[in-house]
Amino acid sequence: MLAIWNALQQAPVRDLAWSLFSPPLMQYLPGGQSIALDRRTAGERDRQWLQCLDADPQALLQHLRDRPSRRLGIYFENLVAFFFRSPLCRQRDGLVLRAQNLQVRRRGKTLGEFDFLFSGSGGAAAVHTETAVKFYLGTPAPAGRAAAIASGAAASDWAQWLGPNCRDRLDIKLTHLLQRQLQLARQAAAQPLLSPLHIDPAHLTRRLFLRGVLLYPGHCRMAPPAGANCAHIRGSWHYLRDFLARSADADWELLPRLQWLAPTAPASLQTHSGAALRRLLNSHFAAHRQPLMLRAWESGRARGSGDAPLHMVVPDYWPRTT
């Protein structure tokens, strides 16, 4: 079945649909059973709302212009915030947004920030939601676990999944979200902020809104991380030397960071041949260390019929240093 975002034409509306309705990265959170995972699916009202936005995206475009950012995480949060501020959210989820990016401070020190705080309607509990979009590259297991991983008998560790710049890691991110960000309401310094919003910390639902892609190594097999959603979006990553040596029988799209979410609409697609891409990659990595994200569109394939896979190319020395 065609993903909901592939039925839309405007890039920000496609990204909004992807942000809301792509599969969450995690199915469960060991040690975080009290945290709800947002696993929403698109209903008819959602589809109609997105189709109307696609026909007239000015409200969404103005919302994004008012909150400019070159950071993918902020762009994602702004997309989700557009939905949280909409009448559809109130109708669909029974929630009213009360605060966004509310900082908790004590004696001049920031203890954390509530991404979103909602009050419930019709007797529903208030909700604290933390949002994140992440792209993690799986790094092979130590030799002692290689046989178990190859056989598919074991899950990989959270610590084996790194962000492209290696400063981020799945275990660190989840621990931060579960043990710090989603516990903010329990801080004494948060109480003066919650009381005016009529939010009682004792009756507050905590929710994690986590989307993204897990990129598996192209040179070996690897199991998903423990607790991963079985329907998570997958891609692959490749060392530059391996990628240049492979067959490149595809039309390759080079993706700036803010285009890592929904696939480009067919009418806006710009691709490179395999030969042109190899020249571009050699030029880039001769001068820069940052990995590059690509989509592989099969040559001759009817574009728009589905999501083309993501591929990330990294320097040959990754992850030792970036």
Q: What does the CA dihedral 61, 1, 238, 280 come to, rounded to 10 degrees?
A: -50
At residue 55, the pLDDT reads: 98
pLDDT surpassing 60 at residue 83:
yes
Question: What does the block give as tokens for 135?
Answer: 């792209």
According to DSSP, the residues that pair with 138 across neighbouring strands are 161
DSSP per residue over 184-214, as a string?
GGGSGGGHHHHGGGT--GGGEEEEEEEEEEE
- pLDDT over 90 percentage in the chain: 77
Residue 287 phi/psi, 5° resolution? -120, -20
At residue 141, the pLDDT reads: 73
Please tell me the distance from the alpha carbon of residue 195 to that of residue 193, in angstroms, as a whole number: 6
DSSP per residue over 149-168, as a string?
HHTT-SPBPGGGEE-TTSS-
- Mean pLDDT value of segment 224-252: 91
Q: Which amino acid is at 166?
A: C
* Packing angle of the helix pair 11-21, 72-84 (nearest 10 deg): 80
Please tell me the distance from the alpha carbon of residue 86 to that of residue 53, in angstroms, as a whole number: 12
Could you read off the pLDDT of 296-312 as tens digits, one per residue? 997 655 454 567 899 99
- pLDDT over 70 percentage in the chain: 90
Instruction: Find, among 19, 27, 23, the residue nearest to 174 by Cα.
Output: 27
pLDDT surpassing 60 at residue 192:
yes
The DSSP secondary-structure symbol of 97 reads E
Size of the chain, expressed as the number of residues it contains: 322
At residue 302, the pLDDT reads: 47
Please tell me the distance from the alpha carbon of residue 263 to that of residue 251, in angstroms, as a whole number: 14
SS3 content of the chain, % helix, strand, coil (to 5): 40, 25, 35
pTM: 0.92
Could you read off the pLDDT of 98-149 as tens digits, one per residue? 999 999 999 889 999 999 999 987 666 899 999 999 999 999 876 544 444 4
According to DSSP, the residues that pair with 246 across neighbouring strands are none
- Mean pLDDT value of segment 147-174: 81
Instruction: Find, among 299, 301, 315, the residue nearest to 247 by Cα.
Output: 299
The mean predicted confidence, pLDDT, of the chain is 90
Q: How confident is the model at residue 21 (pLDDT cuts 50, 70, 90)?
A: very high
At residue 120, the pLDDT reads: 84
Please tell me the distance from the alpha carbon of residue 183 to that of residue 204, in angstroms, as a whole number: 11
